[in-house]
């Protein structure tokens, strides 16, 4: 895929996410409340946003991506907690912090493994998915700059989602208006995700540039080195 085409695909993905995962969810919540639905029912109705986005992904790609499956799982867990949870309405918002905060904790714990968690996410999203592409990605682990970049990305994602979880809880119990608290909590994970993806892309590009510079330097060194056996 060419670079402009790749940028267009990424922009299209962000726009669809903004319109359906965020925009439609907030509109559905607001409309449901204005029609007389309680907070719990309105929260469930807002799930139409992510479900619509999943349908669009299926129509475009004819497959259920791993990301869509994760969103579906989160939606089912959130719905179950909404229906069978306690009477505390603020728990409807705060409970999702267990998912994002848990992911952040898993990222940090993965630093104890031979390769951190974000290395495997990179293998999924930074390659074309072919065997050759995956093999090339794995081969990059031999370079110190690449290894360091994967550890940095994993640390930033882990701390980022722990902070997002804390802010979600603060919004749930610190903002008096439930609809406003729900809006803030809905926007928070996407804001953090956009920032973390941007950081990961910049870090990956710097690591790639460093690797290319190292390869050029090695090639120039071989080209200028005297041939074996010459005076």
d(CA 109, CA 98): 16
Percent of the chain with pLDDT over 90: 11
Average pLDDT, integer, range 41-55: 76
| 17-44 per-position pLDDT tens digit | 677 767 787 788 788 878 888 766 776 7
At 65-92, the pLDDT tens digits run 444 555 555 566 666 666 665 556 777 7
pLDDT, tens digit, for every residue of 106-145? 889 999 999 998 887 776 666 655 667 677 778 888 888 8
- Split at pLDDT 50, 70, 90, the class of 198 is confident
**pLDDT of the residue at 153:** 92
For residue 162, what pLDDT is reported? 94
CATH class of 86-231: mainly alpha
What pLDDT is recorded for position 100?
80
Q: In this predicted structure, what is the pLDDT of residue 157?
A: 92
CA distance 183 to 208: 38
| Choice between 44 and 166, residue whose per-residue pLDDT is larger | 166
The residue ranges of every structural domain in the chain are 1-85, 86-231
């Amino acid at each position: 895929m060419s670079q402009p085409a790749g940028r267009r695909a990424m922009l299209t993905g962000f726009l669809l996410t903004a319109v359906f995962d965020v925009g439609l969810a907030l509109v559905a919540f607001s409309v449901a409340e204005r029609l007389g639905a309680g907070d719990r029912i309105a929260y469930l109705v807002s799930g139409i946003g992510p479900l619509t986005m999943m349908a669009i992904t299926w129509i475009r790609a004819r497959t259920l991506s791993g990301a869509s499956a994760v969103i579906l799982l989160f939606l089912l867990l959130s719905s179950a907690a909404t229906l069978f949870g306690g009477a505390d309405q603020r728990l409807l918002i705060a409970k999702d912090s267990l998912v994002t905060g848990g992911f952040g904790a898993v990222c940090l714990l993965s630093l104890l493994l031979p390769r951190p968690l974000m290395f495997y996410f990179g293998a999924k999203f930074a390659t074309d998915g072919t065997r050759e592409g995956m093999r090339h990605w794995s081969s990059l682990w031999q370079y110190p700059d690449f290894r360091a970049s994967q550890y940095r990305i994993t640390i930033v994602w882990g701390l980022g989602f722990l902070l997002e979880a804390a802010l979600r809880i603060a919004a749930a119990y610190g903002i008096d208006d439930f609809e406003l608290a729900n809006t803030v909590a809905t926007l928070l994970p996407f804001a953090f995700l956009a920032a973390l993806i941007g950081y990961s892309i910049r870090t990956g590009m710097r690591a790639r540039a460093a690797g290319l510079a190292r390869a050029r330097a090695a090639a120039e060194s071989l080209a200028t080195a005297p041939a074996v056996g010459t005076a």
